[in-house]
Structure 1
Amino acid sequence: MANDNSSTTRRQVLLGSSAALGSAMAGCLGSDDQNNSENGTGGTSDSDEYEVGYGEYQTTVSAADFPEELRVYAVQTGWSNWDAVMEEFESEYGVSLYDAQGSSGEALQDARSNARNPTYSAFNGGYSFNLEAMNDGLTTDYKPKNWDTVPDALKTDNGHVTATRQMTTAVTYRTDVYEERGLDAPETWDDLKHPDIAQDLAFTPPHTANGLASALSVNRAYGGDLDNLDPVIEYHEEIAEHGADFRRNIEGDVTSGEISTVVEYDYSGLNMKYNVDEIGADQLDVAILTGPNGEEGAMNVPYGYALLEGAPNPEAAKLFMDYVLSLDGQKKFFDAYVRPIRASELDQPDEFPDQSAYDDAEFALDQEELVSKQASIQNELTDRTPLPGAQ
């Protein structure tokens, strides 16, 4: 996962510190996305109350019931600009967020293991992992404020799971290294088979939402589907001969030049290119790839959240879920090049790849079908891939 710490970044300078602290949040018995700047400088006291929820879920929560620290799975520094979201939420409401490092798969396993005595208040991660948590009976219903702005296909009617953002499988590569090796910018998945690229090419492991999407993107590009993973396994066999592998937390490997090409999300590469000081923006680029003959090859992956059944601190969790889906919270995602679920209401940064690249390559899967097959797909990928580091 790319590091997007909350220190001043190149993009924040360019945007005139658009992510600066001090903007007031929705809440305090106000209307949708109304800020509280007229009420002071933020912060909270035990007497403060906030209106949360959408429709029949509208209710009032009291700061007297808030904990000093709230735990939400996979809300973590270094990913999706949660740093800025966490800092702003604490500044406004006085509730800090536990830095919950871990993948969607690890979060789901922990939630299952602690189902009888949950220590986290909400589940956050890949949308399909949220559906798995719901199907396991781990979640409860809650429709956050602005639930009606989320596309129907990216929320459950029962109010258990709501999408908050989305990412697309992409390739991030070192332009300076490619130039030194006489390599052209990659356009198709076939291009990554070149020995001078595959020698230091990395994927993320298939037990993560990111790694699963990468594998399914390659699989789709070569004619596979959720019931046929042979194409991606054959692809792995070809690139394994030249040194490709699976890795996690690889930003340092990219910035140091240890690897020149990584398959992650568009967010990861764009955030590294524009928000990480350890490497120049001109040393990196991000490509959305098709199959060898123009086939779709870039999976669009929604991420979301769900309130956990019987979990502690539901009042603070509801307030946090509302903030994430507010326009203030959604803007924080765009600051790190994560496409928020309410992107159509905001100005998309110009730094994203051209929309035509997405139009040519992007595809989405039925999330209910994916979740029904996800565990078996991950197990098969882990068992069959010849690339090292899959576990």
Structure 2
Amino acid sequence: MLSNARKILSLSTAVLIASTSIAAADSMEDLVKAAQAEGTLTTIALPHDWCGYGALIEGFKAKYGIKVNELNPDAGSGDEIEAIKANKDNKGDQAPDVIDVGLSFGPSAKAEGLIQPYKVATWDTIPDTAKDAEGYWYGDYYGVMAFEVNKDIVKESPKDWADLQKPEYANMVALAGDPRTANQAISGVFAAGLSASGGDVAKAGEAGLNFFKELNEKGNFVPVIGKSAPLAQGTTPIIIRWDYNALADRDTLKGNPDVDVVIPATGVVAGVYVQAISAYAPHPNAAKLWMEYLYSDEGQLGWLKGYCTRSASTTS
């Protein structure tokens, strides 16, 4: 993940760290003190089995002695944005300091004035195409849309999107979220449409909606949010979700049931997520320290252990 240039940031333990410059080693000491004085970081929508976040959160708490208040782990990107809006004047436990959202939500949140700029020490190693030039949002990791399959029930895994329409998959296929708010589900619809439209990006959105309309009419779509529990129980034996989530489920379930993770032959979509700090963060210094942690080698390797492909590079 990230390495390199550290530019001096004048920080004080008593003053809000407002600069968007790249942090230097000595100013990091001030940032740590300021964050510890705040004592708490409030996150939202970070399931422990998503991209290794459970271990990352525990590592952050152990390293800095800061409490992490975790809001609504199963929320979608849209829910995170709404949480910022709803808590603009709230400095209590329901106001998120940081968000982890789908790529499209970064620019829109900036346009609405919901996030604040901050450039981590390893800023230069994040690709320009995956970050806002002013530091309002920045890519963290990405995955590829996949089919997660319960092999105890589904003897022959689908190989491509069109296979999901087959009668043998009746009452089996689910999305891993609500496509009205969850980036993972939105991306699943887009990927299906990309396949159905022959790779035409301009037509993928409408084609995806039509694909799922047909899937529902054929009785193959299950209107339940797909997770590891309904997968194991057989309620949703085929789930459309990011590969890293499917691989994490495979590890957690330990062969009960056997889980197959399939990258479809067409309509292959990789989805980048981005980090940002709320413009109304009750704990702005803890938020910035959290970003420094995530974009350090330690944090980036933590994401890698969670099967996520990093958006930056490590020094080791």
Q: TM-score range by the shorter chain?
A: 0.7 to 0.9
Matches of 1:177 and 1:249 in 2, distance apart?
Answer: 15
Indicate if the aligned counterparts of 1:76 and 1:99 stay in contact, CA closer than 8 A.
no
Change (3 A) 1:175 1:313: same
Describe the superposition over 1:206-235 as per-residue Cα deviations: whole angstroms up to 9, x where unpaired: 120100000000111122545663322332
Query: CA, structure 1 residues 214+195, in 2 after alignment: closer, same or farther (shift >3 Å)?
Result: same
Q: Cα distance, 1:186 vs. partner? A: 2.1
Match of 1:239 in 2: 215
Alignment of 1:287-326 (within 5 A): 287-291=262-266, 297-326=267-296
Task: Provide the rounded CA distance (Å) in 1 between the counterparts of 2:102 and 2:108.
Answer: 10
Amino acid in structure 2 at the alignment position of 1:283: D
User: 5 Å matches for 1:266-345?
Assistant: 266-274=243-251, 276=252, 278-280=253-255, 283-291=258-266, 297-342=267-312
Determine the C-alpha separation between the residues in 2 that align with 1:298 and 1:228: 12
Q: Provide structure 1 residue ranges, at least 5 long, that are not aligned to the other structure.
A: 1-25, 34-46, 292-296, 347-391
How big is the shift at 1:289?
Answer: 0.9
Task: Note if 1:219 corresponds to 2:193.
Answer: yes
Q: How far has the Cα of 1:94 moved from its partner?
A: 0.2
Assess, with a 3 A threshold, how the Cα gap between structure 1 residues 166 and 70 changes in structure 2: closer, same or farther. Answer: same
Q: 1:130-189 deviations in whole A, cap 9, x for unaligned?
A: 22211111111110121111111001110111111111111111223232xxx3x32211
Contact 1:255 1:279 in 2 (8 A): no
Name the stretch that deviates more: 116-125 or 91-100: 116-125
Q: Residue type matched to 2:138 in 1?
A: T
For the pair 1:259 / 2:236, whether they are aligned, the reply is yes
Residue by residue, what CA displacement relative to the aligned partner does 1:213-261 show, whole Å, maximum 9, x if unpaired?
A: 0000011112254566332233223221224124325210111222221
Counterpart CA distance in 2 for 1:343 and 1:194 is 42
Which consecutive unaligned segments of at least 5 residues does structure 2 have? 6-12
Aligned twin of 1:193: 165
Q: Matches of 1:265 and 1:315 in 2, distance apart? A: 31
Bigger mean CA deviation after superposition, 231-240 or 101-110: 231-240
Relative contact order (C-alpha < 8 Å, sep 6+): which is higher?
Answer: 2
- For residue 9 of structure 2, what is the aligned residue in structure 1? none
Report the equivalent of 1:70.
Answer: 41
| Whole-angstrom distance in 1 between the partners of 2:272 and 2:228 | 22
Work out whether residues 32 and 289 of structure 2, in 8 Å CA contact, stay in contact via their aligned partners in 1. no
Assess if the C-alpha contact under 8 Å between 1:144 and 1:325 holds in 2: yes
Determine the structure 2 residue equivalent to 1:170. 146
Q: For 2:246 and 2:35, locate their aligned partners in 1 and report how far apart those are by CA, in whole Å.
A: 40
Superimposed CA distance per residue, residues 355-383 of structure 1 (whole angstroms, 9 cap, x where no aligned partner) = xxxxxxxxxxxxxxxxxxxxxxxxxxxxx
For the pair 1:149 / 2:125, whether they are aligned, the reply is yes
Structure 1 residues 116 and 135: CA distance shift in structure 2, 3 A: farther
Greater shift in the superposed pair: 310-319 or 164-173: 310-319
Q: Aligned with 1:158: secondary structure?
A: coil
Q: Using the alignment, how far apart are the partners of 1:54 and 1:311 within structure 2? A: 15
Give the Cα–Cα distance (whole angstroms) in 1 for the partners of residues 105 and 153 of structure 2.
36
- Report the count of equivalent residues: 291
Q: What is the distance in 1 between the residues matched to 2:314 and 2:147?
A: 25
Match of 2:80 among 81, 104, 107: 107
TM-score by length of 2: 0.82
Contact 2:35 2:286 in 1 (8 A): yes
Residues 344 and 107 of structure 1, relative CA distance in 2, 3 Å threshold = same
Residue type of the alignment partner of 1:220: L
The Cα of 1:78 is off from its aligned counterpart by 3.4
Say whether the 8 Å CA contact 1:197–1:260 is kept in structure 2: no
RMSD: 2.9
Which position in structure 2 is the counterpart of 1:128? 104
Distance 1:72 1:99, change over 3 A: closer
Equivalent pair of 1:74/1:107 in contact (CA under 8 Å): yes
Residue 229 of structure 1, aligned match among 205, 216, 220: 205
TM-score, scaled relative to structure 1: 0.68
Amino acid in the other structure paired with 2:182: T
